Amino acid sequence: MSYRAPLNDIRFVLDHVVGFDRVAATDRFAEATPDTVDAILTEAARLSEDVLAPLNRPGDTQPATLENGVVRTAPGFAEGFRAIADGGWIGINADPEHGGMGLPFTLTAAVNEMMGSACLALQLNPLLTQGQIEALEAHASDDLKALYLPKLISGEWTGTMNLTEPQAGSDVGALRAKAEPNGDGTYAVSGQKIYISWGDADFIDNVCHLVLARLPDGAEGTKGISLFMVPKRLPRDDGSAGDPNALRVVSLEHKLGLHGSPTAVMEYDRATGWLVGEPHKGMAAMFTMMNNARVGVGVQGLSIAEAAMQHALRYALDRKQGKSHVPDGSILEHADVRRTILSMKARTFAVRAMCLDCAVSLDLGRAEGDAAMRARGAFLTPIAKAYGTDTGIGVAGDGIQIHGGMGFVEETGAAQFLRDVRVTAIYEGTNGIQAMDLVGRKLADGGDAAFALLDEVEQTDHDGLRAAAIELRTLTQWMLDQPMQDRLAGSVAYLAAFARVLAVHYHLRAAAADADRSRLARFAATCLLPEALAEMAKARAGAEELYALTTDELAAA
């Protein structure tokens, strides 16, 4: 499964669609010059194509295993990870004080796209570490930062996030893990956590777990949760990994996809941990990591969409079947195949622009302290996560369809894309939770961030898009006027509508900068604007019909 990094598209989106030059113009990110950006993207593309892509299939067919308490990783993953770490790719946007490059988060997103397309199971490892780095930078004590950040940034150690428990899935406040003071500034952390991606690996000196647990005086629910750093091995005085901590991998999950990524059940038995942030403020600290990861997971959806689209396009060009109006007779000349490929390309381009637009907003908010840009990035985050992963799943499914019967057998590799990407709509907050967040927290500003985005869209010279944006503005106000249950009932459709309106907006920006892109933009508008209007109608339905059938009646059906 050869992969070619879409460098031209990435550069074009940065330069002509999302205004990355505004980030490079700030004092904080002045080093992100065109030459630096080009060098980073070019080298990341080489690494992804030549080193990581060959690991994708072996990671699927020879997955991580647990042997006598030791996680054995897939063939070549150790060397692949070392190439990522040695290249400095984990700390692209980390603080230079601790060994990071200090470059914009936008470049991390662009690099992660390519690495995720090449081998998503391996790319998930540094993605989690990057999120942990950001959480520690924001919330940890100076001593913890000095000890952990250099090793996480260098890739000597890796990081995880431990939220979920068997009885507490998305309801994190129902966790039972506990932490008791040891009297020396450390805590004894006990409990079981599930679905811990990259909970262990045989090529890492130390795995650093950020664990949510409740102190003895912690209130019930999320307000009483604290966050702890609990390493696999206890650091020695010189900072090296020392004796094993009182934690273990109980088992590895048998998963639909991402087989190369070990997903662990972790058990902590009075393991030594250190408090990160303030007592009982653990969710706020963990949300720093989660919000970073949510954008990153949206990028993972983009990664698979790009890889699956490339894979399907190559097959369509090579496959000769049926009569067509060109001599070579490839199936790409059949109307339905061409429609599907165009749709795959249009949606993939839109998600790339959406994720990078979100990242640019977050960078500008960080660099300039711009509250409006921070709000813009926050509003785009659930849309990028949900639409990005839904698109990855949809494009991967279309890729199987392009292959026909050959897509349903594993030898072609088309099925792996769908199996690997399916979880992205679930982890880091299901896409339903993203939609609830959008109509709840993200509209808590009275719709200011939403209306500001729509102001941008309505300036685009396209009657159909302008009309859809005006209708979306009306729907946003309708949402603000409704009781929360009606908002929640229409939240998924509202997010889907907003995403499609933005998608067409990005395509038309691209067409304005390059006339050659106008044909794909026209196709995108033709397909996505009717979908947006349909989603808006669904969003207005309210909650009444959802609850018209009683629970007993639903169960009987």
Q: What is d(CA 134, CA 148) in angstroms, rounded to the nearest whole number?
A: 12
- 417, burial (CB in 10 Å: exposed 0-12, middle 13-18, buried 19+): buried
Q: Who contacts 326 (Cβ-Cβ below 8 Å, separation ≥6)?
A: 333
* Angle subtended by helix axes 335-368 and 491-513, to nearest 10: 90
Q: How far apart are alpha carbons 445 and 480 in whole angstroms?
A: 10
76 Ramachandran zone, left/alpha/beta (phi>0; psi -120 to 50) = left
Give the closest residue to 301 by CA, choosing from 131, 415, 432, 426. Answer: 426
Contact 415, 382 (CB under 8 A): no
Residue 70 corresponds to which amino acid? Answer: V
Q: Decide: residue 57, CB within 10 A, 0-12 exposed, 13-18 middle, 19+ buried.
A: middle
Could you identify the residue written with the tokens 């490892």?
125
Structure tokens at 510: 């691209």
Residues 279-317 as b/e (b if ≥16 CB within 10 A, e otherwise) read ebbbbebbebbbbbbbbbbbbbbbbbbbbbbbbbbebbe
DSSP H helices, 48-119, are 56-61, 77-86, 105-118
Which residue among 113, 134, 306, 428 is the active-site one?
A: 428
Angstrom distance (rounded) from CA 257 to CA 407:
16
Q: Which amino acid is at 473?
A: R
How many Cα atoms sit within 13 Å of 416 on the Cβ side?
23
Report whether 128 contacts 102 (CB < 8 A): no
Residue 230's beta-bridge partner residues?
A: 209
Residue 346: phi, psi to the nearest 5?
-65, -45
408: amino acid identity, one letter: F
One-letter amino acid at 447 equals: G
In the residue annotation, 428 being an active-site residue is answered as yes
Residue type, 27: D
- Burial (CB < 10 A; 0-12, 13-18, 19+), residue 70, is exposed
Residue type, 39: A
Residues known to be catalytic: 428
